[in-house]
Copies of this chain bind each other. A is one copy, B any other.
Amino acid sequence: MKVVGVDLGGTTFTVGLVEEGKGVVKKVEDLTRVEEGFEKVTERLAQRINEVKDDAVAVGIGAPGSIVDGTVRFAPNFPGWIDVPLGKRISELTGLPVYVENDANAFALGEKWFGAGRGKEHIVALTLGTGVGGGVITHGILLKGYLGIGAELGHVIIQPNGPICGCGNYGCLETLASATAIVRMANEGRKKYPDSLIFKHEEVTAKIVMDAAREGDKLALKIRDRVVEALARAIAGFVHIFNPEVVIIGGGVARAGDVLFKPLKEKVTEFLMPSFVGTFEIVRSPLLENSGILGAASVALEELEWR
The reply to whether A150 and B233 form a contact with Cβ atoms under 8 Å apart is: no
Copies assembled? 2
What chain B residues lie within 8 Å of A119 (beta carbons)?
none
Q: Which of A32-40, A46-54, A241-249, A295-303 makes up part of the contact surface?
A: A241-249
At the interface, is chain A mostly helix, strand, loop or mixed? loop
The interface centre, meaning the residue of A146, A158, A168, A274 with most chain B CB atoms within 10 A of its CB, is A146
Q: How large is the interface on A (under 10, 10 to 19, 20 to 34, 35 or more residues)?
A: 35 or more
Identify which of B138, B168, B236 contacts A273 (C-beta below 8 A): B168
Bound CA–CA A168/B276 (angstroms): 12
A228 at the interface (CB under 8 A from B): no
What chain B residues lie within 8 Å of A155 (beta carbons)?
240, 273
Instruction: Mark out the residues of chain A between 143 and 181 whose CB falls within 8 Å of any chain B CB in the assembled complex.
Output: 143-153, 155-160, 167-169
The reply to whether A233 and B157 form a contact with Cβ atoms under 8 Å apart is: yes
The reply to whether A240 and B152 form a contact with Cβ atoms under 8 Å apart is: yes
The reply to whether A243 and B153 form a contact with Cβ atoms under 8 Å apart is: no
The reply to whether B145 and A244 form a contact with Cβ atoms under 8 Å apart is: yes
Instruction: Mark out the residues of chain A between 212 and 261 whose CB falls within 8 Å of any chain B CB in the assembled complex.
Output: 233, 236-237, 240-245
The reply to whether B271 and A157 form a contact with Cβ atoms under 8 Å apart is: yes
What chain B residues lie within 8 Å of A146 (beta carbons)?
121-122, 243-245, 279-280
The reply to whether B237 and A147 form a contact with Cβ atoms under 8 Å apart is: no
A93 at the interface (CB under 8 A from B): no
The reply to whether B143 and A141 form a contact with Cβ atoms under 8 Å apart is: no
What chain B residues lie within 8 Å of A42 (beta carbons)?
none
Considering only CB atoms, which chain B residue lies closest to A245 in the complex? B146
The reply to whether B243 and A148 form a contact with Cβ atoms under 8 Å apart is: yes
The reply to whether A149 and B241 form a contact with Cβ atoms under 8 Å apart is: no
What chain B residues lie within 8 Å of A242 (beta carbons)?
143, 145, 150
Bound CA–CA A245/B114 (angstroms): 32
Q: Which residues of A contact B (CB under 8 A)?
A: 66, 73, 121-122, 136, 138-139, 141, 143-153, 155-160, 167-169, 233, 236-237, 240-245, 271, 273-276, 279-280
Additional A-B contacts beyond A143-B242, A150-B243, A156-B241 (9; CB < 8 A): A138-B143, A139-B141, A145-B242, A148-B243, A149-B276, A152-B273, A157-B236, A159-B160, A160-B160
Can you report 20 A-B residue pairs in the complex whose CB atoms are below 8 A from each other? A66-B275, A73-B275, A139-B144, A141-B141, A143-B242, A144-B243, A145-B242, A145-B244, A146-B243, A146-B244, A149-B276, A153-B241, A155-B273, A156-B240, A156-B241, A157-B233, A157-B236, A160-B233, A168-B274, A169-B271
Sorted from nearest, which 6 A-B pairs have the closest CB atoms? Answer: A145-B243, A150-B243, A152-B240, A122-B146, A167-B273, A146-B245
